[in-house]
Structure 1
Amino acid sequence: MTFIAVGINYNTAPVAIRERLAFPAEILGSALKSLWNQQAISEAAILSTCNRTEFYYHTDSDNQEPLINWIAEQKKLKPADFRPFLYSHKNSQSIRHMFRVACGLDSMVLGEPQILGQMKTAYQAANEAGTLGKNLGKLFQHTFSAAKKVRTDTAIGSSPVSVAFAAVQLAQQIFDKLSEQTALLIGAGETIELTARHLHQHGIGRIVIANRTFDKAHALASQFDGYAIALSELPSHLAEADIVVSSTASQLPILGKGMVESAIKKRRHKPMFMVDLAVPRDIESEVEQLNDVYLYSVDDLQNTINENMDSRRRAAEQAEEIIDTEVEHFLAWMRAQGAQTTIRDYRSQAELARDEVLQKALNQLRNGADAEQVLNRLAHTLTNKLIHTPSTQLREAGANERPDLIAAARELFKL
């Protein structure tokens, strides 16, 4: 049997191809069952995210054409439309690939943690669809264990590598308790949404979102138990903010020195932490001159992110070493499974010999034979039955000049 991983990702395929090969949650279950019903596929799982779609399966054939034809049928495409973008791995390389994906080593953002949750979702979907078996199920469990070990034993996820996360981590360093602070976020784009998400996850006390389009601000604020204001309301709400993060497409500054100075006076000089993630700037650079204001630009955070990326790359080297070890552990488990059939057959053979000798001994006891003689005969007969075939094989190995077989027997029986 063979493990195979086939897929596309952000490195091999443009988004136009990736989105055509995606498997949304609502169709994933039926797709898994359909894939599992394909000839030669005994176990299957599908990982589908915005950056990758991958198929993991256990099969008795190396031929990938059935999978490619199945994808083409499912997605109403010709194989030639997506085949050039595919990559594939087999056995130990597919195991290594799954480990690397789960650890974030194959992600667009090195070491990002979200992929592990997405991998667990793929496992859960396959489990619910009934397409996992002993082998692929064990591989997923070992994948999660390897990812946990990498997270625990390296610093791959400890340093922020997005400006939104870096801003929130900096806020945590300035304020002892985010739960007692109010954050004012200006804008409603992806960066502000990500900032709001990080703040919400870290227990921010209150979120206010200001945007030129009030409906967008309201839609975003409602996701994080916050409330929305229009940009025109900024002067009356700025003093409430302990943390200000701004990221808009405005060509002119939104917060001037005078407005911030008035807010600081209303706050009775309680410190204000401000992060300007916009280019061009949303906050006038002169604001930095004010006492009790800590203003950071996107360049300030980018320097931190670059340092953190270097740290993650060093951690990734450690992670690769851990993965090498974990791959060997899983391969050892697979090899052990290959021995199970032999062990089972050997045990069955021994149990048959035991039952035969035991039945004769019981019959003799029922007929009044001496118990000690019966036990001695049972032990002698059983010993002869158990060692007869190995002894015969070893004699033949000696006659046929097979020292390797004799050496293996000595190791097997610890002689």
Structure 2
Amino acid sequence: MEAIKVGNKGIVESLVEEIKAYLEIFNLKIHNLFATCLEDNELLDKNNEYNKMLENKPELSDEDILFIESIVNENIEKDIVLKRDENNNLKLLLNDKEFLNQDRKNLHLSTGEQNFISLAFELIKAKNSNKKIIVLDDPISSFDSIYKNKITYAIIKFLEGKKQIILTHNTELIKLMEHQRNKCFNLYLFNNTFDEENGFIKVNNKEQEILLYLDKLLELFRNDIFVEVENERNFLIAMIPFMRGYAQIINYKNEKNSLTKLMHGYQEEKVDLAEIYNNLFGTKDKITTSYEVSAKDILSLDISTLDILKVGSQYPLLNKTLRHTLTYLFLRLNVEKVLVDLFNINTKKNDMLSKIISKAFSEDTPENKKSRIFLLSRKTLLNEFNHFEGNMNIFQPAIDISDTALKKESEDIKKFLSNLTLSPIGN
């Protein structure tokens, strides 16, 4: 109005420039506010993550979709359907209801079923990958026994045209794969421990056979093992846990009860291991020398220099597992013997190792808690030789722990027991 009144357009031009300046400031403030919102809400990170998801989005053919539906429905016995929406994206329906982005508790599926469906999609993604090798890390570790067999089947069916490296501590997976598709893999031990044989160590055909088939292992113990044995007495002692499990399965109660006496450090009776071995495996003409052994005799062994099978034996993995098993047994007996003697424990009421440990350190003091935790957390002591009960998996001790780790744990336990005997009882 002043510009009109005095006839000076410069006033209007000055006002226009001032408005432009405010607009520029306003835009800068808007941009800064938006940038702050992005930072506070992690929108950029989420956008980047979304773009990566789109890049990894599996391109599934109609055949792949039918394949997933067939295998999933066959194995979980529920109606899973894959459909494409108007944007050609896949929708997963469970009993005609949307499956994705739902709360797990509303899906009416067990954890095993949910994990199976998830793994099925990962496997189909791997099937369509252009990578030369697919690596699976212990694929059955999170599944119960029902689903382990189904997962193995899915791996074989989905990835039959792919080279695979499957990493596992579980010999059950190896057996499942062999029984579903004979000779479908090469077996290696992978080791990466200082000052040991490292890398991928091939398991020879003989050992692969006795690892996969119990009847082949038993046949070995009846015949060919004797030409491999370096120290017959040590061999029989190392076989005690396996023989006990085997005796229980075939209902040789006397042999099982006799061997049980050699698996507790507080027992003193002698047992003829040669007689028991011959009875169990029918080898009366194979072991002719009597080997009467007690728990005390086992405790007198020097486990650092154990000779069991000959150097250069055809069964190095078996030799390792026998050495480990004997070490497990030695440590177990040692702990039981020391605790029972030191704390005057009634073994009729506390006959198992875990009960003996709990009884010895029953007072709820910080030192006792520390001692209980130390012993009950040891891999070698926790091992109650369960792998010999039922599934007769003799090789698990060699797979579970390296020589170096076993040596360290042995030294730690012996040091603990040594310090315990030098301390006042109850501390």
* TM-score between the two structures when normalised by the length of structure 2: 0.26
User: Larger % of strand: which?
Assistant: 1
Larger relative contact order (CA 8 Å, sep ≥ 6):
1
